[in-house]
Chains A and B, each alone.
Chain A
Amino acid sequence: MSYADGMIPDHLRTTPRRAGQLTLMLALLLGSLLLVACHRGDSVEWRLTDVTGHMPDLDFRLVDDQGKAVTGKDYRGKVVLLYFGYTHCPDVCPLTLAQLHVVMQRLGPLADGARILFVSVDPARDTPEIMHAYVNAFDPRAVGLSGTPREIEALSKRYRSAFTREPDKGDGQYEVSHSSAIYVFDREGKARLLATPGNPQDALVHDLHLMLSLGNPT
């Protein structure tokens, strides 16, 4: 196509020089505006629910699956996928984590810039050791976070999430109802997107690909 454009004979190029300069200036202005917009992330078309400015930054005080005390700031520089669950959950939590593993695989090397933070809503049973074995069975980029009931509740409330320990089934076993959402934070720890089970996997891959590519330090 550009080859054909170049074939236009000179005598047909009637555009006055000044108009050409004006067009060039306008194009440059528009281009710089677009760049600014892109930099601020305003023009990005997310497929998941955009929660930018509606939820607080990533912040917590918990213990990771190596037994180390960690805060939200320890994950600055990584795109974070925050999900609440518990290890005695045989169906939905493994399903979500298995799907996140597939998403990470689909992202290829970009996935190294992301972390899955699996926060236990079952502080009574989930120790760092159990969490370590659990998250590593899903993805090497998954981190299991546990803490005291008060710390877990603080984090859950911060993101308007909720969890309820259901009554004991009589043999000491119980289920925990919990939020099914996945919260996505950018590298600066800003809450950006919300994914729910209704969102297709492609939407998550698309948005994470975009977020991990934007402002990539490399």
Chain B
Amino acid sequence: MINRTLPLLAAGLLLAMSVHAGEAEHVRASQAWIRVLPGDLPAGAYVVLENTGDQPATLRSASSVRYGSVMLHKSSSEGGVSRMAMVESLVIPAHGKAELAPGGYHLMMSKANPPVKVGDDVKLTLHFDDGSTLDTRFVTRPANATDAGDPHQH
């Protein structure tokens, strides 16, 4: 049984990998912003990811030269308790979108060096499952912002 399925599985994986090549090419990022908090407190980064491809794309991680640590997290408020958990990945369905938005999926940005101020443009590199990457410019917004703001004001 195992002897028969293994080659099939390997072939399937190879096929999947070839089909998935260049996931980032099909992903468009919009409404990218970072909520800047005072001092060196960790900040949340948000973005809407749209996948125009025929295959799902999987966001694995993100990085930035401005932050020592960027982690993919998810907040939840179930049973009256707010929690935050690390997540391994976020799938952007084919011809669909995934939102990193306050109160849900977000990137936790910490150890900023030098400190990030409101008005700075911060480049983040989004890393996908197949190793492809997407560079995205994030606008920085004040602590009490609720969204990316009007992009025309920048």
Contact = CB atoms under 8 A, between A and B. Distances in A.
Interface of A: 85, 87-95, 97-99, 101-102, 130, 133-134, 137-139, 162, 171, 173, 175, 177-181, 196-197
Contact of B42 (A88, A92, A181): A88
Nearest to A178: B82
Interface string B69-92: 100010101001111100000000
B80 A179 contact: yes
Contact of A91 (B39, B69, B102): B102
B44 A90 contact: yes
B38 interface: yes
B67 to A, nearest CB: 11
11 contacts: A88-B42, A90-B108, A91-B44, A91-B106, A94-B144, A97-B144, A101-B144, A133-B38, A175-B83, A177-B82, A180-B82
Contacts, number: 96
A165 B142 CA distance: 27
Interface of B: 35, 37-39, 41-44, 69, 73, 75, 77, 80-84, 102-103, 106, 108-110, 142-146
A181 B81 CA distance: 8
A97 B37 CA distance: 12
Given A87-B37, A90-B35, A97-B144, A180 B77 contact: yes
A102 B39 contact: no
B143 A178 contact: no
Contact of B108 (A91, A102, A197): A91
Given A90-B41, A134-B143, A197-B82, 20 more contacts: A89-B82, A90-B42, A91-B44, A91-B106, A92-B103, A94-B143, A94-B144, A97-B143, A97-B144, A98-B35, A98-B102, A98-B144, A99-B146, A134-B38, A137-B143, A139-B144, A162-B81, A175-B84, A179-B82, A180-B81
